[in-house]
Structure formats: C-alpha cells, structure tokens
Chains A and B, each alone.
Chain A
C-alpha cells in the first residue's frame, strides 16, 4: 500500500536554531500534503496544506514565517521550524492522500517527528 515516510523521527535542537522535517510519498504522487501538530495527549491540529509548485495554505493562527513549508516535487514536502523555541517542541506529523486512478483517497500518515527544543 501507499506509504508516507517522514524524517527525522526525533530531533533535539538548541533554541534559536532551525530544523527541517521531510515528508515523502514513497509510491504515489501527492500534489497536496498536510502538516499536523500534536501536543501531548491531544488531537492533531492541522497547521497547513502544502501544495506542489505553489504556496502553502496556513490555518488560522499558524505563523507562516515560523513554519516554512516547501513542496518542491510531487513526492516531497518539507517543514522548517525557524528560530525554534521550547514552545515549538511537539510531535509533527505529515500526511498525503493517494488520489491516483483506482485509489480510494485514503490519507496516509508519516511516522511523525518529535521535536524537542532545549
């Protein structure tokens, strides 16, 4: 079945640095990918919709300059947390829908990336 791979799975960084998280659809093309954030013991909050070849669409309250999203190809979207601070520590999950011919539009999730900012 379709697979979405996310890397790195865990990252620890110092406050003020930037961190990049990659999301790849391994066996299907994804014109749209989604980035979610999950706080401990809470649900997934949609941060933004990543669109191949165009700007991402951010949800209300999400800082565009803080969370840079680049969807440079049909199989890769990246989320860069810029000038990270401890409050950015969270579990970030990407997802993509397989809308190929004969597919069911299921949303596949990456394994998630746990970011810890010291």
Chain B
C-alpha cells in the first residue's frame, strides 16, 4: 500500500537558519513525489516535484529536495529560511498517470523564530 510519512509534526527554526523537512514514502511502483506548501486558510502551492532524472531537484522560493531511493526518502531543504516560510508543508506521492491518486503525508508545520 502506498503511504507517506512525515515524522515531524512541528518544527521551529530561527530566521536565517537552514531547514530540512523529512519525508519517507512507501510505493509499489516508480514514485512521483511532490512537496506542497499551505498557508493558513489557503490552498496548496507546489514547491517542487520529482519523477526522474537528477535526484536533487530545485523548486520555488529557494527550496530543494533530494530523492534517495535506497532510503525511500524525499527530504525538503532550504539553506536559509525567511519568516514568510512559516506554513504547513506536505509531502505527497503518486504515479505518473492522470488517474493516479496522490497521497499526502500528515504535514509538518514550520514556525520561524525571529
């Protein structure tokens, strides 16, 4: 069965510090992996995605993620966070098919310490 695990419910980092949000997945086929961000009361915005190619993918807002097949992980990173990065972050997995369901992790809430 496919699943996504985000082990950290809430993370607080200082502004300017580096960030890593963890994501582990279980998927029976080649996974299509996503990271989304959601501000309070808002919809979701795609940060980045990975299906094939270079395992280090760059996204918007200075985020990047690295796909590690051996660890079934797709961790999100940012070298220096800004106060505006405070939000909820969701990792998701699916297949490269229009009918494929996308399953979301439970989310990690990021708070920024001034």
Contacts and interface: CB of A to CB of B under 8 A. Distances in A.
| A and B are partners in one complex rather than unrelated chains | yes
Interface of A: 6, 30-32, 34, 36, 41-44, 46, 49, 51, 93, 95, 97, 99, 104-112, 114
Contacts of B105: 43
Majority-rule SS of A interface residues: strand
B104 A43 contact: yes
Nearest to B44: A109
Interface in B22-81: 32, 34, 36, 41-46, 49, 51
B112 to A, nearest CB: 18
Interface string B99-112: 11111111101000
Contact of B42 (A43, A44, A107, A112): A112
A51 B105 CA distance: 24
A43 B49 contact: no
Nearest to B107: A43
Contact of B99 (A41, A44, A49, A114): A49
Interface size class of B (residues with CB under 8 A): 20 to 34
A36 B92 CA distance: 13
Nearest to B92: A107
Given A49-B99, A112-B43, A114-B41, A107 B104 contact: no
A43 B90 contact: yes
15 contacts: A32-B99, A43-B105, A46-B101, A46-B102, A46-B103, A49-B101, A99-B97, A104-B49, A105-B32, A105-B97, A105-B98, A106-B49, A108-B46, A109-B45, A112-B42
A34 B44 CA distance: 14
A27 to B, nearest CB: 16
Contact of B43 (A43, A46, A49, A111): A111
Given A46-B102, A104-B51, A109-B36, 8 more contacts: A32-B99, A42-B107, A43-B104, A49-B101, A104-B49, A105-B51, A107-B92, A114-B41
